[in-house]
Structure 1
Amino acid sequence: MFGNGAGVRYGLPPLRLPDRAIRMISAFRRLAGTWFAKGLFLLLVLSFGIWGIEDVIRNFGRDNAVARVGGESIELTEAQNAARRETQRLQRQLGPRFEANEGFRQAVARQAVENLIAARAQSQEARRMGVAASVDAVRAYTFAVPAFQGADGRFNPLILQQFLRQNDLSEGDFTRLVVADLERQQLIGAIRAGARAPETMTRQLLAFAGERRAAEVAEFPLLSAPEVPEPTEAQLTRYHENNPAQFSSPEYREVALAMLSAEALLPRVTVTDAEIEAGLEAQRERTGTPERRTVEQALVSSREAADAIRTAWAGGAELAAVKTQAEAAGGTALEMGQVTRGEMPVENIAAAVFALPQGGVTDPIQSPFGWHVMKVTAIQAAAEKPMEELRAETRAFLAREKAADLSYEEANKLEDALAGGATVEEAAQRFGLTAARVTLDRQGNGQDGRPVELPGGPAARAAILEAVFANPAGQGARLAEAANGFVALDVANAIPAALRPFASVEAEVRRAWTLEARRRAQEERAAALLAAAQGGKDFAEAAREAGVEAVRMGPSLRDPQQAPPGGIPAELLPGLFAAKVGEVTMAQTSAGYAVARLAEIIPADVAADAAGLARVKGEVEQSMQDDLEAQFAAALRARGNVTINPAMMEQVAAR
Structure 2
Amino acid sequence: MLTALRRLSSTWVAKALFVLLVLSFGIWGIGDTVRNLGRDTALARVNGEPIETEEAQAALRREMQRLSRTVGSQFENDPRVRRALAEQAVDQLVLDRVLRAETARLGIAVPDQALREFVFSLPGFRGPAGGGFSRAAFDNFLRSNGLTEGEFLNLVRADLARQQVSTAVRAGAAAPSVLARRLYQWRDQQRAATVVSLPASAAPEPPAPTEAALRRFHENNPQMFSSPEHREAAVAVLTAEIMGREVEVSDADIAAAYEQRRASFETPERRTVEQALFQEEGAARRLFEEWSADPETPFSVVASRTEAAGGQATQLGTVERAVLPLPELAEAAFSLAPGSVSAPVKSPFGWHVFRVTGVEPGTSRPLEAVRDELRNALAQERAADLAFERANQVEDALAGGATLEEAAKRFGLGYATVRTDASGNGPDGKPVELPVIRDAREPLLRAIFEAESGTAPRLKETEAGFVAVELREVSPPALRPFDAVEDEVRQAFLADARRRAQEERAAALLAATRSGKSLAEAAQEAGLGSREVGAITRAAAQGQDAPGGGAVPPELLAPLFELKPKEATMVPTRDGFVVAQLLEVTEPDPDANPDALARLRAEAGQAVAADLEAQYVAALRNRADVRINPRLMDSLAQP
TM-score normalised by length of structure 1: 0.49
What CA deviation, in whole Å up to 9, does each residue of 1:168-225 have, x standing for no partner? xxxxxxxxxxxxx7xx4xx7545x36x634x4x6665555445443333322222322
Distance apart, 1:111 and its partner CA: 8.4
| Alpha-carbon distance in 2 for matches of 1:620, 1:431 | 57
- 2:571 corresponds, among 565, 568, 587, to 587
Asked if the contact 1:70–1:121 (Cα under 8 Å) also holds between the matched residues in 2, the reply is no
Asked if the contact 1:414–1:431 (Cα under 8 Å) also holds between the matched residues in 2, the reply is yes
Asked if the contact 2:190–2:587 (Cα under 8 Å) also holds between the matched residues in 1, the reply is yes
The question of 1:240 aligning with 2:224 is answered no
Match in the other structure for 2:203: 225
The question of 1:599 aligning with 2:577 is answered no
In structure 2, what residue type is equivalent to 1:248? S
In structure 2, what residue type is equivalent to 1:222? A
The question of 1:70 aligning with 2:104 is answered yes
The question of 1:81 aligning with 2:116 is answered yes
Structure ID, larger Rg: 1
Aligned in 2, Cα 1:632/1:512: closer, same or farther, shift over 3 Å? same
| Structure-to-structure mapping, 1:86-97, within 5 angstroms | 87-88=122-123
The question of 1:117 aligning with 2:95 is answered no
- 1:511 corresponds, among 478, 485, 491, to 491
Distance apart, 1:401 and its partner CA: 10
Unaligned runs of 5+ in 2: 1-48, 52-95, 132-136, 263-330, 337-365, 628-639
TM-score normalised by length of structure 2: 0.50
| Alpha-carbon distance in 1 for matches of 2:215, 2:518 | 43
Distance apart, 1:413 and its partner CA: 5.2
What CA deviation, in whole Å up to 9, does each residue of 1:507-536 have, x standing for no partner? 333332222221111111111122223223
What CA deviation, in whole Å up to 9, does each residue of 1:456-479 have, x standing for no partner? 434654553343333311223433
Asked if the contact 1:256–1:492 (Cα under 8 Å) also holds between the matched residues in 2, the reply is yes
In structure 2, what residue type is equivalent to 1:534? R
Unaligned runs of 5+ in 1: 1-60, 123-180, 292-328, 335-380, 384-389, 644-655
Aligned in 2, Cα 1:421/1:587: closer, same or farther, shift over 3 Å? same
Asked if the contact 2:235–2:415 (Cα under 8 Å) also holds between the matched residues in 1, the reply is yes
Asked if the contact 1:79–1:113 (Cα under 8 Å) also holds between the matched residues in 2, the reply is no
Aligned in 2, Cα 1:70/1:427: closer, same or farther, shift over 3 Å? closer
| Alpha-carbon distance in 2 for matches of 1:566, 1:120 | 44
Aligned in 2, Cα 1:78/1:508: closer, same or farther, shift over 3 Å? farther
Judge which range, 432-441 or 528-537, deviates more: 432-441
In structure 2, what residue type is equivalent to 1:546? A
Asked if the contact 1:207–1:606 (Cα under 8 Å) also holds between the matched residues in 2, the reply is yes
Match in the other structure for 1:549: 529
What CA deviation, in whole Å up to 9, does each residue of 1:249-304 have, x standing for no partner? 3332211234556876899x799xxxx9xx7754675699x99xxxxxxxxxxxxx
In structure 2, what residue type is equivalent to 1:513? F
The question of 1:529 aligning with 2:513 is answered no
Identity of aligned residues (%): 41
What CA deviation, in whole Å up to 9, does each residue of 1:578-614 have, x standing for no partner? 4444333222234532223333344445676766766
In structure 2, what residue type is equivalent to 1:84? V
What CA deviation, in whole Å up to 9, does each residue of 1:538-557 have, x standing for no partner? 54342123221233332533
Match in the other structure for 2:435: 455
Asked if the contact 1:237–1:502 (Cα under 8 Å) also holds between the matched residues in 2, the reply is yes
Cα RMSD of the aligned pairs, angstroms, is 5.8
Asked if the contact 1:253–1:439 (Cα under 8 Å) also holds between the matched residues in 2, the reply is yes
- 2:612 corresponds, among 625, 628, 651, to 628
Asked if the contact 2:237–2:468 (Cα under 8 Å) also holds between the matched residues in 1, the reply is yes
Secondary structure of the residue aligned to 2:529 is coil
Distance apart, 1:452 and its partner CA: 1.8
Secondary structure of the residue aligned to 1:490 is strand
Secondary structure of the residue aligned to 2:216 is helix
- 1:252 corresponds, among 217, 230, 251, to 230
Aligned in 2, Cα 1:488/1:222: closer, same or farther, shift over 3 Å? closer
Aligned in 2, Cα 1:539/1:266: closer, same or farther, shift over 3 Å? closer
Aligned in 2, Cα 1:117/1:489: closer, same or farther, shift over 3 Å? same
Secondary structure of the residue aligned to 1:449 is coil
In structure 1, what residue type is equivalent to 2:487? A
Match in the other structure for 1:493: 473
| Alpha-carbon distance in 2 for matches of 1:112, 1:280 | 37
- 1:445 corresponds, among 419, 425, 430, to 425
What CA deviation, in whole Å up to 9, does each residue of 1:480-527 have, x standing for no partner? 446787555421122223333333333333332222221111111111
| Alpha-carbon distance in 2 for matches of 1:629, 1:270 | 49
